[in-house]
Amino acid sequence: MTTRADVVAAARSLLGTPYAPHQRTPGVGIDCAGLPIVVARLLGLKEASFDVNGYSLHPDGSLIPLCKEHLIQVPREEMGDGDVLVLKWGKGEAQHFGILATHQTYGTRSIIHAEQLRHKQVVEHQLAFTAHTRFVAAFRFPGVECRS
């Protein structure tokens, strides 16, 4: 069975991959919505041909129903390493995806995500929910062991 640690390891294997809209190629290009798709493919949780494409690059919340179709929504208080986080900035629509982890250096919550503005690649950094970075939802991959 796939574990939470397996999900985090697969996400970390993508660190440094350049940000590229609608791309799904490790080491070449991935966007934030593609990160969980690529992780699911790498772990065999979805077939290699699985994809979700054609979504707007402007935040409109349209990917939430697709998350509910393909993932298992979990309450915020039950989210853990390896879960997919959906975030938004300010008062806008849900607009960003990442994989929750425990930071290897600091031991605090971190997010692995394809960051398009500053780093322009898949990065991991400490996660803090603020008035600016807001939690929208958490989802678990079907077939992932829930124990840590």
What is the Cα–Cα distance from 48 to 25, expressed in whole angstroms?
11
Q: How far is Cα 110 from Cα 99, in angstroms, rounded to an integer? A: 8
140 in Cβ contact with 74 (< 8 Å): yes
Please report, in tens digits, the pLDDT of each residue of the chain (148 residues total).
899 999 999 999 999 999 999 999 999 999 999 999 999 999 999 999 999 887 877 777 788 898 999 999 999 999 999 999 999 887 778 889 999 999 988 889 999 999 988 899 999 999 988 878 889 999 999 999 876 5
**Domains identified in the chain and CATH numbers:** 4-140 (3.90.1720.10)
Pairing of β 29-30 and β 133-140 = unpaired
pLDDT at position 146 is: 76
Query: Which amino acid does the sequence have at 28?
Result: V
Q: What is the pTM of this model?
A: 0.93
Structure tokens at 39: 């992780």
DSSP-derived secondary structure for 76-123: GGG--TTPEEEEEETTS---EEEEEEE-TTT-SEEEEEEETTTT-EEE
